[in-house]
Chains A and B, each alone.
Chain A
C-alpha cells in the first residue's frame, strides 16, 4: 500500500508518469516543468518504461505530436509551463475538438511580458476556454493523485476530453515534501488498459480525423463538447471516490476547510490554500468563524455545488492568481459570483489579485483579507470590488 517519500512536486509527477507508463510522451523542456521531462527521459533511457519519447523542437510540435499519437490510438501525455502552454494554445483547442484523452501536466508559471519564471496561474487560465478539464493541486501529493486520476477521467467514453493537471511552479514543483506513492501495480490496475476509439491505426476501418466542419455541423460538435464537460462532473466524483478507496485520499470538486458554519470565507486555489488554512485556524481560535473553499476542479466549473457550499456565508473573498485585464475580476471571481447569484441572501463578495509572478503571499496577507471580510460582514459595505494585494502602491 505505497511508500512515503520526501520528493519535489516535479519528481512526484515524473514518478506518476513512470507508473502510468504511457505509450507516447512528446514534450519540450521549459522552466519550471523541465525536471519532469528530464527525469522521465532517464526512465526511458534506463528502460524503466515502455514509452516512446519524442523530444520535439517546440511546444507547438509537442502538442501536435501528442494529437497525432493520441489519434493513432494509445495513451499520451506531456508537460509544460507558461510560454510553452501559450505556444500550444492553438493545438489545445484541436486536442479537445478531436476528443483526444491527452493528459498535460501544467506547472503553473507567469506569462511574459515582463518575462518571469515564477508561479501564477495566467498560463492555465489562458486555456480555460479550450475545453480541457482542469485540476489544480495544493501540494505534491495532490498533484500526483490528480495526474493519475486524470487518465480515468479523460478516457471515460462519455467524456473523452483532455485533462490538464496543474501544480504551482517552484512553490510545489521544486519544494521537497513528504508524500505517499502508490505501488506501480496499484496505479496500473487503477487506470486500466487504454481503450481506443476510432483509432487512425485501425487500417481496416480508415478514419478521417480533422475534416472541415462548416455551418451545418460545427455547432453540433461544439455542443457535444459542452455535454462531455457536463458528463465529466459525475466521472470526476466517482473516480475521486474510487481513488480514495485505493489510497485513503478521496477527491471531489473542491475542499472545504472549516466552511460549514463559516461567516467569512476565502476561495483560493493551489498552494496558497495551505497558508490560508493556518490563518483560518488562528481566526477560529479568536472566535471568528473563518473558512476556506479550495477549488480543485475549475473546468467543468461545479457552480451548483459551490453555491451550496458558500450559501450560508456572509462575506467571501475570491483570490485570483491571475488577472483578466479589464474584466470585473480575475478568472475565478465572476464565475463564483455568478454561481451565488440565485442563492437567497447571497454573501457580499470581493476579488483579490495576488501572487503574480511568484510574489510571496504570507500569513499577514491572509489576515488582511479576513479582517476586510469581517468588516464587510459587520457593515455590509464593500470598499473595492477588485483589488491587487501583495503589491506596492
Chain B
C-alpha cells in the first residue's frame, strides 16, 4: 500500500518535467504533473493527448520530458497507452524487460470528456494496468477557449459566448468522475493541485492499483478563466471549498469524501473573480448564479448520500 510522502521527500526525486517549456505562467497543468511525477517511485511511461501540455512541452527538437513520452492524436491517449502497456507485458513475458514500469495517460477535458471518451471507456473495460489523469481546465484552452462538456454552466467561451439572447454555456457539466467510476474500475478520484498531499497520495494509490485507475484534477487556466496567474492555486482551493470540485475517491465502488469544508464558500465568491463569469455580476443574471449554486448543493448532497453519509 502506498504511503504518503512529505514535501521534503517529494523534493528529493528527479525533476522529470523540466523547465524551458512554453506553458503559460500560472498554468495548472505543470503544477499537477510535477506533483505527480515527484510522487512516483516507479519508472513511468507517459502518453498525452493533443493539447496545451503536449504542444508546450515538446517543440521539436526540444523536449521537457526526462521520462519516455508519447503523443499521437487528440482522442486516443487511452488507446495509445494501452498499446504501450500491452507491448510491455509482451516483452516482459519474453524476459526482454525486467523492471516494474507504470503507465500514465494524460488528457485535457476536451481530449477526455469529449473526443476521447470512447477510447477511455474501451481501455477501462479491457482492464489495462494504467492511470488516466484528466487535467480539467473546463474548455478547449489550447485553441482559444471553446466550450467542452466540462465547461461550467453559464461560462463565457468562444463557442458559448455571452450574447444578447444567450448568456454563456446553457448546459451543465458532464460528471466524468461518476462516469469513470461507473465502469467499476478499481479506483477513481478527484483531486486538486492546491492540496498536494491529497493529489500525490491519490496518484501513488492509483499507481499501486492492479487495473485501470482514473484521476480527475481541476486545473485553473489563467487565459481561459481570465484570472491572474498568481491566483491559480487559490482558485483551485476555492473550487474545492465551494464544493464545486469535491475531493473524493471511489475504491472498488466505495466512495470516500476526502475533504469537507467547515463552511461551504458561496460559489459567487469563486465566480466573481473570473473573467469568464463577469456577466454574472450583473443584477439581471442573479438567477443564473442561483442556478449554479443550486446545482452544486444538489450534487454535494448526492455525493454525500452515495458515500453513505
Contact of B122 among A23, A58, A213, A214 (CB under 8 A): A58
A52-B90, A212-B54, A214-B60 as given contacts; A98 in contact with B83, CB under 8 Å: no
- The reply to whether the CB of A351 lies closer than 8 angstroms to some CB of chain B is no
A329 nearest CB across to chain B (Å): 33
A42-69 contacts to B, CB under 8 A, are 50-52, 54-58, 60-61, 64-69
CA A207 to CA B70, docked complex, whole Å: 8
CA A371 to CA B307, docked complex, whole Å: 80
Contact of A98 among B55, B66, B72, B91 (CB under 8 A): B72
CA A213 to CA B43, docked complex, whole Å: 27
- The reply to whether the CB of A261 lies closer than 8 angstroms to some CB of chain B is no
Interface hub of B70, B72, B82 (most chain A Cβ within 10 A): B72
Interface hub of A54, A68, A90, A217 (most chain B Cβ within 10 A): A68
- The reply to whether A69 and B68 form a contact with Cβ atoms under 8 Å apart is no
A214 partner residues in chain B, CB cutoff 8 A:
59-60
- The reply to whether A24 and B83 form a contact with Cβ atoms under 8 Å apart is yes
- The reply to whether A60 and B126 form a contact with Cβ atoms under 8 Å apart is no
Residue of B nearest to A60 (CB): B76
- The reply to whether the CB of B84 lies closer than 8 angstroms to some CB of chain A is yes
- The reply to whether the CB of A114 lies closer than 8 angstroms to some CB of chain B is no
- The reply to whether B91 and A64 form a contact with Cβ atoms under 8 Å apart is no
How many chain B residues sit at the interface, stated as a range, is: 35 or more
- The reply to whether the CB of A162 lies closer than 8 angstroms to some CB of chain B is no
CA A206 to CA B67, docked complex, whole Å: 5
B83 nearest CB across to chain A (Å): 3
- The reply to whether A65 and B82 form a contact with Cβ atoms under 8 Å apart is yes
CA A207 to CA B71, docked complex, whole Å: 11
Count of chain A residues with a beta carbon within 8 Å of a chain B beta carbon: 43
Contact of A68 among B59, B80, B90, B101 (CB under 8 A): B80
CA A58 to CA B78, docked complex, whole Å: 13
- The reply to whether A200 and B45 form a contact with Cβ atoms under 8 Å apart is yes
- The reply to whether the CB of B2 lies closer than 8 angstroms to some CB of chain A is no
A90 partner residues in chain B, CB cutoff 8 A:
73
CA A58 to CA B62, docked complex, whole Å: 33
- The reply to whether B101 and A201 form a contact with Cβ atoms under 8 Å apart is yes
Residue of B nearest to A28 (CB): B122
Residue of A nearest to B77 (CB): A64
- The reply to whether the CB of B119 lies closer than 8 angstroms to some CB of chain A is yes
- The reply to whether the CB of B75 lies closer than 8 angstroms to some CB of chain A is yes
- The reply to whether A57 and B125 form a contact with Cβ atoms under 8 Å apart is yes
- The reply to whether A64 and B58 form a contact with Cβ atoms under 8 Å apart is no
Interface hub of A50, A61, A74 (most chain B Cβ within 10 A): A61
- Name the segment of B92-100, B166-174, B249-257 touching the other chain: B92-100
CA A109 to CA B232, docked complex, whole Å: 53
- The reply to whether the CB of B270 lies closer than 8 angstroms to some CB of chain A is no
A57-B125, A207-B68, A209-B69 as given contacts; A52 in contact with B86, CB under 8 Å: yes
17 more A-B residue pairs beyond the given contacts A68-B79, A211-B60, with a C-beta to C-beta distance below 8 A? A24-B90, A51-B90, A52-B86, A52-B93, A61-B118, A61-B123, A64-B79, A64-B119, A65-B82, A68-B80, A69-B84, A91-B72, A206-B69, A207-B69, A209-B68, A209-B69, A214-B59
Task: Pull 17 A–B residue pairs with CB atoms less than 8 Å apart, ordered by A.
Answer: A55-B126, A61-B122, A64-B119, A67-B83, A68-B83, A68-B85, A69-B86, A72-B88, A200-B68, A201-B87, A209-B68, A209-B70, A209-B71, A209-B72, A210-B72, A211-B71, A212-B60
A residues at B contact (CB < 8 Å): 23-24, 26, 50-52, 54-58, 60-61, 64-74, 76, 90-91, 94, 98, 200-203, 206-214, 217
